[in-house]
Amino acid sequence: MARSNLDALRQLTAHLPEEAHGGQHAYKIHEGIPGGDALVLLTPAAAQRGRVGRTARPEPELPNDPTPVLDVLVFWEEQWRDETDQPTALRPTLDRVADYLDRQLHQIAGTRLFPHLAGDLARAVHQVENVLHDGIRPDTSRVPCWDCGARLVKVYSDQARHDHWTCPRCHEVYDQGRYERAKYDHLASQGAARYVAVSDAIAATGRPEQTVRGWVRTGAVDSQRDPVSGRLTVWWPDVRAQHLAAGNRKRAAS
């Protein structure tokens, strides 16, 4: 979930400039200052490292301001670099910092820092979602409805754990578990012979991340880097074959 939230922050933040420029809530906050909360989320406290300090958590300038996304990520990057003695002088950018945290996340997961990092990532995603989806914008997934085949649309609630998906045609409601099963069925279909994000493969199969990455390391699952984001993707038919084979071996052993 932490890795998925990190991915979501990259994708959602890319839509903030449009929202700051012309979104229906761009003038709602800060007494008419253009950009509103979307601009606040895009504006870190300063351009150099150390802007949030080694121990102080990032705090908004005004009580009702959201915390800029880059400030949240740099805070945790610096916490981990300090913990592992990995200093850097590279200028922090969203992609650069997110890539670093993504590469280190499997190690951070075994430390006392992880629950706090995961919580901050979830809160950051919810902040951005609130700004982008305040106008009830449809967030259409690739997953078709079981009943009518229409692509499911995400519905954002006040709390992330209450988010769900609904069918715009027949109005069926999908909670997280039902949505993941529908996603698996979609990926298992003949038309899903494509590369997918590692996080999607994990969510669809329920396999641990180390298992999926282990299949990649041994050559059982083909992989490649996405040409745009540079992130690792895996060939879904290979993942599904390994997932089903592992299940068959477990049943045979029992």
Which helix (H) or strand (E) segment holds residue 8: the answer is helix 2-13
CA distances from 33 to 112, 129, 130, 131 (A): 40, 21, 19, 15
pLDDT digits (tens, 9 = 90+) for 117-173: 998 998 888 888 777 764 444 567 778 888 888 888 887 665 667 788 888 888 899
For 46, other C-beta atoms within 10 Å of its C-beta total: 12
C-alpha dihedral sign at 106, 111, 116, 117: negative
Q: Give the global pTM.
A: 0.49
Do the beta carbons of residue 170 and residue 150 sit within 8 Å?
yes
pLDDT digits (tens, 9 = 90+) for 160-212: 677 888 888 888 999 988 988 888 787 777 556 788 888 888 877 878 888 99
Q: Which CATH class for the 193-254 domain?
A: mainly alpha
Q: Label each residue of 89-146 as H, E or C.
A: CCCCCHHHHHHHHHHHHHHHCCCCCHHHHHHHHHHHHHHHHHHHHCCCCCEEEEEECC
Do the beta carbons of residue 182 and residue 174 sit within 8 Å?
yes
Coil, strand, or helix at residue 234? strand
Q: Could you tell me the residue ranges of all domains in the chain? A: 2-133, 138-188, 193-254
Give me 101's structure tokens: 């945290």
Pick the more confident residue, 42 or 178.
178
